[in-house]
Amino acid sequence: MTIKGLIEDDLVNYKKPSMTIMMPICKNFKCDKECGERVCQNSALATAANIDIDYTTLISKYKNNPITQAIVFQGLEPFDSWTELHHCIAAIRGSDINDDIVIYTGYTEEELANKIKYLQSLYYKNIIIKFGRFIPNQESHQDEILGIYLASDNQYAKKIS
């Protein structure tokens, strides 16, 4: 699996201590295009070196960490690495890890309808998706599901399974 980074002990991106996996691509920088300016908070990741890591290593790091209680996939754009994302989720669930999996996306729920249906069809438990593009100059709000503040009014999390 190709990633841009790994935070083994993340206490910022979810209400539970998490392992955060930074995905390697954003195909179209949709937030920048819709705003008409560079607003992507993760744009520096685009030029960061790729890291190749196998699912077994990620799972081992997660299982051997006594504090982590969730796995977070975030940006660039996890759904633009769809094959690796859903294969990694399958490997995690196949390893008897039923902790929360959180996916941060700039896509809308409607744009991901088919991929959400696919994930739901596999009957995986505890999958949460944060939806919505970043829009500058919005008032942040606390998301009850994630337990953190989100930057734009249109952003929200939803448990899909």
Span 41-61, pLDDT tens digits: 777 788 899 999 999 999 999
| pLDDT value at 40 more than 80 | no
| pLDDT value at 27 more than 90 | no
Cα–Cα dist 23/20, whole Å? 10
pLDDT for position 37: 67
Mean pLDDT throughout 101-129? 96
**For residue 72, which phi and psi values (nearest 5 degrees)?**
-115, 130
pLDDT for position 35: 66
Mean pLDDT throughout 110-124? 95
Tens digits of per-residue pLDDT, 64-110?
999 999 999 998 999 999 999 999 999 999 999 999 999 999 999 99
Q: Look at the chain and report how many structural domains it folds into.
A: 1
pLDDT for position 5: 96
* Both tokens assigned to 88: 């990694």
Cα–Cα dist 92/90, whole Å? 5
CB burial of residue 23 (10 Å; 0-12, 13-18, 19+): buried
**What is the band of 137 on the pLDDT scale with cuts at 50, 70, 90?**
confident
Contact present, 79 and 85 (Cβ < 8 Å): yes
Q: Residue 49: give the domain boundaries.
A: 2-159
Chain mean pLDDT for the chain: 92
Contact present, 21 and 72 (Cβ < 8 Å): yes
Of residues 70 and 133, which shows the higher confidence score?
A: 70
| pLDDT value at 32 more than 70 | no
3-class secondary structure, 73:
strand
Beta bridge partners of 42: none
